[in-house]
Amino acid sequence: MSQQGFEDLCKRREDIQRQIHIDETEKAKLQRDLSQITEKLNRVNDSLQKKLVLRNELDRTIAESEAAYMKCERDIRMITCEVQTHNSSYSCNGLMSVQSMLRRRVFSTVADCPDLRLHPQIGQSTIAASFWQFCTSGRADYVNDASGNPYVQHTI
């Protein structure tokens, strides 16, 4: 082999070595990127699983709350009919005792709906008072006082 042929082979080897180095560097970079992306994918999957579980719990809570609310609403409608029936058929003294009995039923109906999710500052007794006011006078609205706390405002 001639000197020129030998130098060409050495030069070719150096070119190949540079290309190998470039490819190895690219491979290492891609492996780091892949590792980071895999780690990020695992974090996103974990977060997604937690959110799916939470969403399913919220769906169940919403369904239970709606069912409890519908039961309370149905019971209150029945009580409203009784109040209206008794309002027209009893004397003043008899009406007061009937209203007292019906009022207790309203409070007990609302208390029997423990799955009804309420605003933390509006308790079951406030809801019951609101239903009672609505049954007897026509309207009850939730409003906020000057401090922003909710309360029931009754309108006749």
Domain boundaries, the chain: 3-155
Determine contact, residues 103/113, Cβ cutoff 8 Å: no
The letter for the amino acid at 19 is Q
Residue 12 has pLDDT above 70, yes or no: yes
The letter for the amino acid at 50 is K
Determine contact, residues 110/127, Cβ cutoff 8 Å: yes
User: CA-to-CA distance for 100 and 107, rounded, in angstroms?
Assistant: 11
* Segment 1-26 mean pLDDT: 94
Instruction: State the pTM of this model.
Output: 0.46
Higher pLDDT, 59 or 149: 59
pLDDT at 156: 39
pLDDT digits (tens, 9 = 90+) for 63-113: 888 887 788 778 777 776 766 665 555 544 444 555 566 666 666 665 555
pLDDT digits (tens, 9 = 90+) for 30-43: 999 999 999 999 99
Confidence of residue 18 (pLDDT cuts 50, 70, 90): very high
